[in-house]
Structure 1
Amino acid sequence: MQRIGILTSGGDSPGMNAAIRAVVRKAIYHGLEVIGIKRGFNGFIEGDMEPMRLGSVADIIHRGGTILHTARSEQFKTPAGRAKAWENVERFGLEGLVVIGGDGSFTGAGIFHQEYGLPVAAIPGTIDNDISGTDYSIGFDTAVNTAVDAINKIRDTATSHERTFIVEVMGRDTGFIAVAAGLAGGAESILIPEYPYSIEEVCHKLCKGYRRGKLHSIIVVAEGAGSGLEIGRQIKEHTGFDTKVTILGHLQRGGTPTAFDRILASQLGARAVELLMQGATCKMVGMTAGKIVETDLDRVLGQKKTVDLDVYRLASILAI
């Protein structure tokens, strides 16, 4: 193997740049050439690609986002779009592809491998942490720390004004960020799509705390569990408490990646290159129980990762 491509696809996540850096420098160390593909699969189709050298990835390990840029590609979902991408594989002489992204990106890469046989090494990069085959995806730790920092600041205002605050976090249809941030931030309630809840129960808990002298509360809501604005309205209607809502939104995707995310990204990026050099055809690299592991991509896509409900229940117990 002499030349590989690398792209980032889907939503950006802090640590993607650290992964790009690791792939490029590990590959060059072993004598491989690396072609950077801009704007994900869109750039793959359009041939928006260029060689990457040691200097291409200098001074990026601490930067959020992705220097390769990213996008979601509807065209790559079509056979015609993938055929154009294959023309660029041949044009640039690619013998392998590193894809950094989430399940949508992995699905596209898997289909492309099945149709054209190009070896693929996938690296999980999504703040949602909803990819099976790994305990952590790149960006999750940074997103959680961003949410916790926001909760800490909001609690100051909640205490000063004796208010109830709803904090809505990202995560699509999963509650990984909400559970981690809620536990670390000492939230009184955490609402996630994986566990049923009722507004009446939430309000009962708030009122119980009020009766024992608790004058402020923080409720963390995963976006997949419902609208923070609507939940806030219902709580105010049921309890009469002064209730405010903060939606963190894309704030959680940006910022300097934590040391954990930089280290994880560096390890996964380097291992992805090793897999391609060793002849792997379609694998994802991840971390399980502190060890770097690799899993068949079709198996990753065929399994659903679920929130650890024991951790969720612990957060509820500690918030009594």
Structure 2
Amino acid sequence: MPNKINKLAVLTSGGDSPGMNAALRAVVRTANYFGLDIFGIRRGYSGMVDDDIFQMDSQSVANIIQRGGTVLKSARCKEFYTAEGRQKAYANLQKHGIDGLIVIGGDGSFTGGMKLQQEFGLPVIGLPGTIDKDLYGTDYTIGFDTACNTALDAIDKIRDTADAHDRLFIVEVMGRHAGYIALHSGIAAGAENILIPEASTNIEDVVDALSEKEKRKKLVNIIVVAEGDAFGGANEVAKIIRERLPNFDTKVSILGHIQRGGSPSCQDRLIASRMGYHAVEALLNDTSGVMVGIINNQIVYTPLEIAIREKHTVDEGWLRMVKILAS
């Protein structure tokens, strides 16, 4: 017989992403609908270790769907990395009678949830809350669309000033290990080049392309760089280009944490709401140890270890398209 879930807890962990509050709202209200007690854990696993756990209801999540960040807050917890820390955290869950956990976060957050399920048999569901879109088993992650829109808005504004002064701008967006924000925002902004960690870039090809554009008097160029590209970010790319093409007026703009904040887009609110609802349903149907994802607009469940271990591959056709459209 499946274990009956009576009391759920939910936390947000890792880097914040727009839409986490929408997912939290969906989890809480779905749990309430099915007659479950629902608890929030402040500051992720740190709050679990410190027993910063409180009961929530529908009113607890009123007027948060449009807010960026996370009302539950997020923090790192070195103590949770230890077996003693996890035992302390689980004891706090037991104290509140919690028999199921929903984790909203990325691969590190899911690893913590996996540990709890493996060591203590606690049913855990993961919701992919990360702007990087670097989790396997879903077409989109909560926050990715908003981060892309934020980057795109900034790049569009940068292009205006680049055009006014005939400048080359190298724009760095977030993505230490994944280049999806750079890829999507760069294509949408009409960038002349996009540098991402998943694809090796020959800097000579970039220099040659810019030289050819200079001959055609195309002096306004945008290069979008993921922070984890092979050259070490926008400043390093700019250093090479300034040495090779001193006639270019080359500027660098690093967008930074602006991409994490802001009101979530319609798409992020929708997918967060769908995922939060289905996370509760999954636990009630005795499904756990999985991440809720959306593929081809259908809800899918991917084992947490696979969602963490496997990686998306970037189709080289995307980058080929960038070169053709920027010519």
Aligned-partner SS, 1:19: helix
Q: Which residue of 1 aligns with 2:278?
A: 271
Aligned-partner SS, 2:103: strand
The offset of 1:215, in angstroms, is 1.7
Q: Is the contact made by 1:174 and 1:307 (CA closer than 8 Å) also made in structure 2?
A: no
1:59-108 Cα shifts (integer Å, max 9, x gaps): 00000000000012221111011001111111010010000000011011
The offset of 1:197, in angstroms, is 1.3
Q: Partners in 1 of 2:311 and 2:48 — Cα distance? A: 28
Match of 2:291 among 275, 284, 288: 284
The offset of 1:313, in angstroms, is 2.0
Aligned-partner SS, 1:60: coil
Q: Partners in 1 of 2:160 and 2:305 — Cα distance? A: 46
Match of 2:241 among 223, 231, 235: 235
Q: Give the aligned residue type for 1:227.
A: G
Aligned-partner SS, 1:260: helix
Q: Partners in 2 of 1:300 and 1:57 — Cα distance? A: 28
Q: Which runs of 5+ in 2 are unaligned?
A: none
Q: Aligned ranges for residues 253-268 of structure 1 at < 5 Å?
A: 253-268=260-275
The offset of 1:20, in angstroms, is 0.1
Q: Partners in 2 of 1:314 and 1:102 — Cα distance? A: 30
Match of 2:186 among 182, 201, 209: 182
Q: Give the aligned residue type for 1:38.
A: R
Q: Partners in 2 of 1:312 and 1:257 — Cα distance? A: 27
Q: Give the aligned residue type for 1:216.
A: V
Q: Partners in 1 of 2:315 and 2:146 — Cα distance? A: 19
Aligned residues: 320
Q: Give the aligned residue type for 1:294.
A: Y
What TM-score does the superposition give when structure 2 sets the normalisation length?
A: 0.96
Q: Which runs of 5+ in 1 are unaligned?
A: none
Q: What's the Cα RMSD here?
A: 0.9
Range with greater deviation from structure 2 (57-66 or 206-215): 206-215
Q: Give the aligned residue type for 2:46.
A: N
Q: Give the aligned residue type for 1:256.
A: S
Match of 1:89 among 93, 117, 129: 93
Q: Aligned ranges for residues 95-110 of structure 1 at < 5 Å?
A: 95-110=99-114
Q: Which residue of 2 aligns with 1:64?
A: 68
Q: Give the aligned residue type for 1:295.
A: T
Q: Which residue of 2 aligns with 1:145?
A: 149
The offset of 1:307, in angstroms, is 2.2
Q: Which residue of 1 aligns with 2:44?
A: 40
Q: Partners in 2 of 1:23 and 1:288 — Cα distance? A: 20
Q: Is the contact made by 1:178 and 1:192 (CA closer than 8 Å) also made in structure 2?
A: yes
Structure 1 residue 54 and structure 2 residue 58: aligned?
yes
The offset of 1:165, in angstroms, is 0.2
Aligned-partner SS, 1:220: strand
Q: Is the contact made by 1:285 and 1:294 (CA closer than 8 Å) also made in structure 2?
A: yes
Q: Which residue of 2 aligns with 1:318?
A: 325
Match of 1:162 among 162, 166, 174: 166
Q: Partners in 1 of 2:67 and 2:163 — Cα distance? A: 34
1:98-140 Cα shifts (integer Å, max 9, x gaps): 0000001101110111000000010000000000010110000
The offset of 1:298, in angstroms, is 2.0
Q: Give the aligned residue type for 1:229.
A: N
Aligned-partner SS, 2:169: strand
Calculate percent identity across the aligned residue pairs. Answer: 54
Q: Partners in 1 of 2:91 and 2:29 — Cα distance? A: 26
The list of structure 1 runs, each at least 4 consecutive aligned residues, that deviate by more than 6 angstroms after superposition, is: none
The offset of 1:297, in angstroms, is 1.3
Q: Which residue of 1 aligns with 2:15?
A: 11
Aligned-partner SS, 2:228: helix
Aligned-partner SS, 1:97: strand
Structure 1 residue 124 and structure 2 residue 128: aligned?
yes
Q: Which residue of 2 aligns with 1:208?
A: 212
Q: Is the contact made by 1:119 and 1:281 (CA closer than 8 Å) also made in structure 2?
A: yes
Q: Partners in 2 of 1:174 and 1:62 — Cα distance? A: 26
Range with greater deviation from structure 2 (310-319 or 243-252): 310-319
Q: Is the contact made by 1:130 and 1:306 (CA closer than 8 Å) also made in structure 2?
A: no
1:251-272 Cα shifts (integer Å, max 9, x gaps): 1000010000000000000000
Q: Partners in 1 of 2:108 and 2:320 — Cα distance? A: 30
Q: Give the aligned residue type for 1:255.
A: G
The offset of 1:309, in angstroms, is 2.5
Q: Give the aligned residue type for 1:118.
A: L
Match of 2:119 among 115, 120, 130: 115
Q: Which residue of 1 aligns with 2:259?
A: 252
